[in-house]
Amino acid sequence: MSVSQTLTWQERIREQLQKGRAGAIGLLQEWVREASVQGQEAGIQQKIANHLVEMGLEVDVWEMTGDELEKLEKHAYFVSPRTEFSGSPNVVGVWKGTGGGRSLILNGHVDVVPEGERKQWTQEPFSGEIVDGKLYGRGVTDMKGGNLASLLAIQTLQQLGVRLKGDVIFQSVVEEESGGAGTLSTILRGYKADAALIPEPTNLKIFPKQQGSMWFRLFIRGRSAHGGTRYEGVSAIEKSMTVIRQIQRLEQERNQRMSDPLYAKLPIPIPINLGVIQGGKWPSSVSDLVTMEGRMGVAPGEEMEMAKIEMQAALQKLTEEDEWFVDHPVELEWYGARWVPGEVAMDHPLLARLQELYPSVFGEAAIIEASPWGTDGGLLTKLADTPSIIIGPGVTQVAHYPDEYIVLDDIFACAELFALTLIEWCELAD
Amino acid sequence: MSVSQTLTWQERIREQLQKGRAGAIGLLQEWVREASVQGQEAGIQQKIANHLVEMGLEVDVWEMTGDELEKLEKHAYFVSPRTEFSGSPNVVGVWKGTGGGRSLILNGHVDVVPEGERKQWTQEPFSGEIVDGKLYGRGVTDMKGGNLASLLAIQTLQQLGVRLKGDVIFQSVVEEESGGAGTLSTILRGYKADAALIPEPTNLKIFPKQQGSMWFRLFIRGRSAHGGTRYEGVSAIEKSMTVIRQIQRLEQERNQRMSDPLYAKLPIPIPINLGVIQGGKWPSSVSDLVTMEGRMGVAPGEEMEMAKIEMQAALQKLTEEDEWFVDHPVELEWYGARWVPGEVAMDHPLLARLQELYPSVFGEAAIIEASPWGTDGGLLTKLADTPSIIIGPGVTQVAHYPDEYIVLDDIFACAELFALTLIEWCELAD
């Protein structure tokens, strides 16, 4: 079927989405009110599973415990700060096709990062308040609004009586924010497809490439002393300042090398973020240890191991600046989350379809860029042979921010694009 | 009685101390093995109370709870990070004099700071191991060894059949390391004397003046963002580096003004120590808040309120360096511990007695300096009209350090000095 034929469906899809708009927004509010930070995902997953059952999908709900956990933990790509996942189920719903068409995974995560300092929010972080067409709440942009777009795409086609040849696999996973153990578990369970869409918050841009990233921890040593004679100790807090400057230099060096035109508009294509600092136990003691935790961006074509070596080398070079580090080297640990970088070929047919359909929905050409962050798409592309493209209605700038919000209209537009893409990719049944 | 008459006692005191040496060291080991960090002081206090009872002193053991706590918390000089003190009793033992002589308080604390990182210790922190005449352990220098010297001074005189005219008041308090609530409670309970000795770790120097200090907390704001687009946020960790540099400048300015000759040998007479830093919650988020906790030294003659104003002004000047601080000023909070600075007159008779007796014990003149840290002596001097002098056998350099130790010989020499001082100050009964 040609794209022009598909477009005859467009009006009907849009109309159907409008009919269901109020109900869909109510659903999103319910999802936001489930404050699904790490470990608290059971409530929203139950709601989603129930909804998928009502839609008539084949629904699979499982916790990563027992045998599942054992397999998971043995996998080379398993990373998580958690050792225990009970109470954090994954949910997959399959809309079986009639056979013969290409399959598509619609993958999204329900875990959200903590809300940060309440004071910086003008709305309650988990209220789902709507102001001027924007729905506010932690996780609404990253990425419950995107998940809703995926769900609406399937539901709308069903309501219009459409049957597709290929399978559509809706995945609602946990643990994306700490490295993808949820999606890895779907892969180990056998889920794969001919391609995947992941509606992470891209401002409706299309990301065929995505930055990888790894979490690290630094241990910076000092020597304790009484604060009243602090000159007799060595402050790990002061030494940390030297380490932070060195990390800033490393970030600069790595980014000067980035020549991929898809990153041209990003001020820092592969940032190194120092997100957590903690040191000292007593105000009147000199701190003997500071721990910092951060995230190192990895370029799409870069080997993660090479990036690790570069970080280690930069820390070793600290001795040139301060002799203290000769006998007290900064310890580096790679821990917790890791997102595999990923890319699909620039001539991939799913990318072509999205680019063709995009103007009919949005009235302008799609912007193609590289993702500034990792997503579960890296795992799907690399391990499940499922090339993954990232595009979603969320607002990049407010992901992980106070006053996170999403523009409601964008969710429905994205759902329209996804529904049209499903028809194109999976094909209408005869 | 003249000093020369007192010295006829010296040989007998020294001999008696030698006889009891093994038992005294065993007692100190027991005290060190009671890991009496904040909230864990009940065990050692029970041991001390029992010992004082055996010595025949009038023993007073109380917890700062109920009415005691109510009175305490209302007092202008009460500070503590705790709101609850049950399980942390104070102990006072009074060796009543026959009347007519001057009284003396021997004050010392049993709370110890946390041991810090275990790795930096070559000995177990609470083992009380003895190597080459040094006893190791957290709190042995600050200040259980000093407390032992006080106890031995009384015990030795008792064993020699001495009776004194003035009362000797042995105080074993909690909460010195966080601002003196223990000693404040002794004062509210009515304990005072004509003077006090506090055997904090001075390397056997005599400190007639002592630095005060105050704890403060700083809140440094950033703006959260996803680590992958960290340039869209403002890192509170990076802003903290600017704040740390400003505090370093303030410390420098304040110390350039210090002209008291008693501080001439200290590299930084009144340091500002930033002891604790904590910020961010997630490695891949830009941190929106860093909290730092520190200790600001206050000169003996300085008004604490003036020092506070100076700190506030320094933080306000941050706007000149970085516009961020205009709309996001660093918040300053004075909290937790505070040690009142203190000084006794340079011609105080207790100071004169100590200086006269010192050479007979140590074979050299006493070194008179100003204390680089606050002690409970500030409270005793200011609130209980009890001029307090600090001198003790502990090793200043290892207080609050890994491998804290004390030289055992110094404890016994200090006990000898204290016993002689008791005879001089409180006078032998007829």
Provide the shortest C-alpha distance from residue A221 to chain B (in Å). Answer: 10
* Cβ contact, residue pair B117, A231, below 8 Å: no
The per-residue pLDDT for B263 is 86
What pLDDT, on the 0 to 100 scale, is given for residue A75? 94
Instruction: List the structure tokens of B274.
Output: 């930033």
DSSP, res B143: I
Catalytic-labelled residue, pool A176, A194, A288, A416: A176
Q: What tens digit of pLDDT does each residue of B382-430 get? A: 899 999 999 999 998 888 889 999 999 999 999 999 999 999 999 999 8
Peptide bond just before B306 cis, omega within 30 deg: no
pLDDT higher for B224 or B51? B51
The answer on pLDDT for B172 being more than 90 is yes
| A235 Cα to chain B: minimum distance (Å) | 8
Helix, coil or strand: residue B140: helix
Helix axis angle, A145-159 to A21-33, nearest 10°: 140
**CA nearest to B374, candidates B273, B249, B292:** B273
Over the stretch B27-61, which tens digit does the pLDDT of each residue have? Answer: 999 999 999 999 999 999 999 999 999 999 999 99
C-alpha closest to that of A300 among A385, A218, A384, A388 = A388
User: Chain A contacts of B297, Cβ < 8 Å?
Assistant: 228
Contacts of A241 in chain B (CB under 8 A): 241, 244
The 3-state secondary structure of chain A reads: CCHHHHHHHHHHHHHHHHHCHHHHHHHHHHHHHCCCECCCCHHHHHHHHHHHHHCCCEEEEECCCHHHHHHHHHCCCCCCCCCCCCCCCEEEEEECCCCCCCCEEEEEECCECCCCCHHHCCCCCCCCCEECCEEECCCHHHHHHHHHHHHHHHHHHHHCCCCECCCEEEEEECCHHHCCHHHHHHHHCCCCCCEEEECCCCCCCEEEEECEEEEEEEEEECECCEHHHHHHCECHHHHHHHHHHHHHHHHHHHHHCCCCHHHCCCCCCCCEEEEEEEECCCCCECCCEEEEEEEEEECCCCCHHHHHHHHHHHHHCHHHHCCHHHHCCCEEEEEEEEECCEECCCCCHHHHHHHHHHHHHHCCCCCEEEECCCCCHHHHHHHCCCCEEECCCCCHHHCCCCCCEEEHHHHHHHHHHHHHHHHHHHCECC
What is the full per-residue pLDDT of chain A (430 aa) written as tens digits? Answer: 556 666 689 999 999 999 999 999 999 999 999 999 999 999 999 999 999 999 999 999 999 999 999 999 999 889 888 899 999 999 999 999 999 999 999 999 999 999 988 999 999 999 999 999 999 999 999 999 999 999 999 999 999 999 999 999 999 999 998 889 999 999 999 999 999 999 999 999 999 999 999 999 999 999 988 898 899 999 999 999 999 999 999 999 999 999 888 888 889 999 999 999 999 998 989 999 999 999 999 998 898 999 999 999 999 999 999 999 999 999 999 998 788 998 999 999 999 999 999 999 999 999 999 988 889 999 999 899 999 999 999 998 888 889 999 999 999 999 999 999 999 999 999 8
* Active-site choice (B34, B111, B177, B404): B111
**B111 carries an active-site annotation:** yes
| Chain A: residue whose CA lies nearest to B289 | A117
Is B284's CB within 8 Å of A235's CB?
A: no
Entry field: residues in chain A: 430
In this complex, do A117 and B289 lie within 8 Å of one another by their Cβ atoms? yes
Using CB atoms, pick whichever of B114, B228, B229 lies closest to residue A282.
Answer: B114
Report domain extents, chain A: 9-210+341-426, 212-339
Question: How far lies A141's CA from each of A25, A136, A417, B256, B368, in Å?
Answer: 14, 9, 18, 54, 66
Q: What is the mean pLDDT of chain B?
A: 95
Q: Which amino acid is present at B267?
A: P
Tell me the CATH number for domain A9-210+341-426: 3.40.630.10
A175 is catalytic: no
Whole-model pTM: value is 0.75
Cα torsion angle, B371, B372, B376, B382, sign: positive
B268: chain A residues, CB-CB within 8 Å:
230-231
At B111 the pLDDT is: 97
Q: Which of A284, A285, A403 is the best mutation test for B, with the most CBs of B within 10 A? A: A284
Nearest residue, CB atoms, A288 vs list B120, B271, B399: B120
Q: Does B397 contact A225 at a Cβ distance shorter than 8 Å?
A: yes
pLDDT tops 70 at residue B250: yes
Q: Do B224 and A336 touch (CB under 8 A)?
A: no
Are B284 and A211 an interchain contact pair (Cβ–Cβ within 8 Å)? no
CA-to-CA distance for B138 and B119, rounded, in angstroms? 14
Give the pLDDT of residue B321. Answer: 94
Name which of B61, B54, B53 is nearest B173 in CA terms. Answer: B61
- CA dist B416 and B347 (Å) reads 23
Of B176, B194, B356, B410, the active-site residue reads B176
- Which of B226, B237, B267 comes nearest A399 by C-beta? B226
Q: Which two tokens stand for residue B418?
A: 């204290």
Q: Give the model's pLDDT for residue A13.
A: 97
pLDDT per residue as tens digits for the range B268-307: 999 999 999 999 998 989 999 999 999 999 998 898 999 9
Of A294, A331, A337, A325, the closest CA to residue B117 belongs to A331
Looking at residue B292, its pLDDT comes to 98
Specify the higher pLDDT residue, B262 or A366.
Answer: A366
- Please choose, from the candidates A377, A319, A329, A406, the residue with its C-alpha nearest in 3D space to the C-alpha of residue A133: A406
The DSSP secondary-structure symbol of B144 reads I
Two tokens, residue A391? 């595009």
| Tokens 């001027």 belong to residue | A132
Average pLDDT for B358-365:
97
Q: Is pLDDT of B7 > 80?
A: no
Q: What is the pLDDT of residue A7?
A: 63
CA distances from A266 to A211, A273, B87, B114 (A): 12, 15, 58, 46
Domain A212-339 sits in CATH at: 3.30.70.360
Q: Do A283 and B290 touch (CB under 8 A)?
A: no
Residue of B nearest to A285 (CA): B275
Nearest CB neighbour to B283, from listed A225, A279, A336: A336
Q: Find which of A245, A251, A273, A398 to mutate to test the B interface (most B CBs within 10 Å of its CB).
A: A273
Per-residue model confidence (pLDDT) at position A2: 59
pLDDT in tens, B364-388: 999 999 988 889 999 999 899 999 9
Q: CA B384 to CA B190: how far, in whole Å?
A: 8
pLDDT at B319: 97
* pLDDT recorded at residue A289: 97
pLDDT given at position B260: 86
Q: Dihedral (C-alpha) A77, A82, A88, A91: value to the nearest 10 degrees?
A: 0
Q: Looking at beta carbons, which residues of chain A come within 8 Å of B279? A: 276-278
Residue A1's pLDDT is 54
Beta-bridge partner residues of B276: B293
How many Cβ contacts (< 8 angstroms) between chains A and B?
244
- The mean pLDDT of B145-159, rounded to a whole number, is 98
Taking the CA of residue B425 and the nearest CA in chain A, the distance in Å comes to: 31
